[in-house]
Amino acid sequence: MKRTSAFNVASVALGLAFLYLPIAILVIYSFNASRLVSVWGGWSLEWYRELLRDQAILDAAWMSLRIGALSASAATVLGTLAAVALTRGRRFRGRLLFSGMVYAPLVMPEVITGLSLLLLFVASGVDRGFWTVTAAHTTLTMCFVTVIVQSRLIGFDRSLEEAAMDLGCPPLRTFLTVTLPLIWPAVAAGWMLAFSLSLDDLVIASFTTGPGATTLPIRIYSQVRLGVKPEINAICTIMIAVVAFATVASSLAAKRGATRRAREGLGVQV
Amino acid sequence: MKARAAAKRPGGGRLVVLVPYLWLLAFFLVPFVIVAKISLSQTAMALPPYTPVLDLAAGWEGVKQFAAQLSLDSYALLVSDELYLRSYLKSVEVAAASTVLLLLIGYPLAYGIARSPRGLQPLLVMLVVLPFWTSFLIRVYAWINILQRDGLLNDVLMRLHITSVPIAWLSSDTAIYIGVVYSYLPFMVLPLYASLEKIDPGLLEAAADLGCPRWKAFWRVTLPLSWPGVAAGALLCFIPITGEFVIPDLLGGSRTLMIGQTLWTEFFSNRDWPVASAIAVALLALLLVPILLYERLQKRAIGEAP
């Protein structure tokens, strides 16, 4: 029944065109020598050079990278723990509340999360800046990590863990030598997702930031509000290139890992 | 470090739960309590710009004084000023209409991917997800390039002599819908694809063998079986779109604001924290049922241990 009808091909082609056309246009116009969007002035790298001279944008990018790396790492640890607790742990009191708190941030409008975190920081009297944005991003992204790791934990053969435990392996060692290698791709994917969500976030960062902690999206947003600027096209193109490279590289790595595991038979040595 | 110390003690597995649990309590639940509290406070020209501030050091007297000063003023304002009601309705309208649009566009796309050759499917799914990894802001911004007055769309339309004067695409509801559908399409397609891909092709073969026309087989077999995907996709889009800020702010007009923008303005421009908090509480109340539905679906999808 696998029929590739014209309708199916057309809907996939149109859908993908819709997704990629605006991005392609943005990339092409970042190389436009003319300042006007509607006028094509020939190919040029002028806006990239201008970007390199824009210290504010560079500072903001560095700030975003640091917040992203730190919050993604914290979120990966917390999110993996939460996933293990939800799938492997015995029943515990307040479990319903716990799973509720894990899934709610996935769909919660950002303005609500941002406002509530800001009010928390004000009420507790901490100085807002790098650390408050990092904590806010950790909270948001750990839930995404949990969902990804959880689906992997459910998907694999539990008897491997049970065998290790039956042979007297303590729980933590079982986790480190059996479970973690098996769920590793999901943990890595979770980190990547957390990192890119943090780099992407404007609303929560705007609420929780303070003086001296301007992230890249906040900077871009304030520029965009003033109108289209070719430099913004250039920095967006760089970000797209980084993302595309990381995605292709990680999917290639995952494929190589899968074939290697397939060759070795069972990729676990207890 | 903590986990290692814990594992040595019997029952140390509890720490596995405790650490993320406490984190979420502190950074997710407690903040909501604070929002609810401040929504009952009064605006003040001070920092923080609201009274009363709960003074626990004053003991019971402090609590009593605090309780006496709580007010429903912010909520009264929400109900009495038409601005707020209008922006609520606007948000629900935009979220509902774009969810329908997303279904109409996302379903054929997901269906097409699920019906394509097996070997091709992972690549197609990756192509749908890839734009999601690029910044949200970039994707919205990309449309400004196209939709602005001297942008590409008007350029093409005028060259084709479809219109002689540039059309103001930006600052309109059309632009909001384009931006929302574009940004949320992956969120709709993925759950739809996940449920469509699971359908046993044998069922459709059986229907065809028994003389069922294809459209009827789709209507009676495929559509009902993909229902969980439709529900998940719709909720995954509807809930965040209702509170959306960036898209209407950059692409929409200034005549009718969506509720996320109203909250933002109250907070950042008017510095009225109690009213901003009251808006957040009211928005949350509006979304409570969809969020609970989504959580139930999510738990079922992940087949969580009971």
Is residue A1 a part of any domain in this protein? Answer: no
A106 plus A217 within the same structural domain: yes
Say whether both A35 and A128 belong to one domain.
no
Side-chain half-sphere of A105: how many Cα atoms within 13 Å?
31
- In DSSP terms, which residues pair with B43 in a beta bridge? B50
Residue A93 forms part of a structural domain: yes
Q: Are residues A252 and A125 in the same domain?
A: no
Taking an 8 Å cut-off on Cβ atoms, the answer to whether A202 and B246 are in contact is: yes
Q: Per-residue pLDDT tens for A35-87?
A: 776 677 788 888 888 888 888 889 999 999 999 999 999 999 999 999 988 88
Helices then strands, each counted (H, E), chain B? 17, 2
Identity at A184, one-letter amino acid code? W
Adjacent-strand bridge partners of A43: A32
Q: Give me the phi and psi of A26, to 5 degrees please.
A: -60, -45
Same-domain status, A169 and A248: no
Residue A15 in domain: no
* Spatial contact of A218 and A205, defined as CB atoms under 8 Å apart: yes
Read off the pTM.
0.83
Using the beta-carbon criterion (under 8 Å), do B30 and A120 form an inter-chain contact? Answer: yes
Residue A174's domain is classified under what CATH number?
1.10.3720.10
Looking at the complex, report in whole angstroms how far the Cα of residue B57 sits from the nearest Cα belonging to chain A: 15
Nearest Cα to Cα of residue B259 among B235, B272, B276: B276
Residues A72 and A119 in one domain: yes
The beta-carbon neighbor of A154 closest among B35, B137, B303 is B303
A232 touches chain B (CB under 8 A): yes
Report the length, in residues, of chain B. Answer: 306
A76 lies in the same domain as A197: yes
Number of folded domains that form chain A? 2
Domain that holds residue A254: 21-53+234-260
The DSSP line for A24-58 is: HHHHHHTTBSSSSSSS---B--HHHHHHHH-HHHH
Rounded to the nearest 10 degrees, the angle between the axes of helix B121-133 and helix B82-114 is 150
A253 is a domain residue: yes
Could you tell me if A149 and A175 lie in one domain? yes
A182-194 pLDDT tens trace: 888 889 889 988 9
Looking at the structure, tell me whether residues A63 and A111 fall in a common domain.
Answer: yes
Look at residue A212 and tell me if it is in a domain: yes
Q: Which of B12, B152, B263 sits opposite A25 (nearest CB)?
A: B152
pLDDT tens across B126-172, in order? 888 888 777 788 888 888 888 887 777 887 888 887 877 777 788 88
Q: What is the pLDDT of residues B11-33, one digit of tens each?
A: 556 778 888 888 998 898 899 88
Share of chain B above pLDDT 90, in %: 22
- Look at residue A205 and tell me if it is in a domain: yes
pLDDT tens digits, residue range A228-241? 678 888 888 888 88
> Cβ contact (<8 Å) for A98 and B21?
yes
Q: Nearest C-alpha of chain A: how many angstroms from B167? A: 14
What are the beta bridge partners of residue B50? B43
How many whole angstroms separate alpha carbon A264 and alpha carbon A29?
Answer: 48
Among A10, A81, A115, the residue with its CB nearest the CB of B277 is A115
Residue at token pair 């992940």? B302
Chain position carrying tokens 């059986």: B206
* A2 located within any domain: no
Question: Is A171 found in the same domain as A118?
Answer: yes
* A28 and A150 belong to one structural domain: no
Domains and CATH numbers, chain B: 75-302 (1.10.3720.10)
Residues B43-61 have pLDDT tens digits of 665 556 666 666 556 566 6
Interface residue of A3, A5, A11 to substitute, partner B, most B CBs within 10 Å = A11
Whether residues A113 and A219 fall in one domain: yes
Q: Does residue A218 have a pLDDT over 60?
A: yes
Interface confidence, given as ipTM, is 0.81
Q: Do B127 and A9 touch (CB under 8 A)?
A: no
CB contact under 8 A, B298 and A103: yes
Here the tokens at position A105 are 């941030």
Of B17, B138, B263, nearest to A236 by CB-CB distance is: B138
Is A126 in the same domain as A256?
Answer: no
What percent of chain B has a predicted confidence (pLDDT) above 70? 85
What confidence tier does B63 reach under pLDDT thresholds 50, 70, 90? low
Radius of gyration of chain B from its Cα atoms, rounded to whole angstroms: 25
A-chain residues near B150 (CB < 8 A): 36-38
A166 falls within a domain: yes
CB-side neighbour CA atoms (13 Å) of B181:
21
Please tell me the predicted confidence (pLDDT) of residue B45. 52
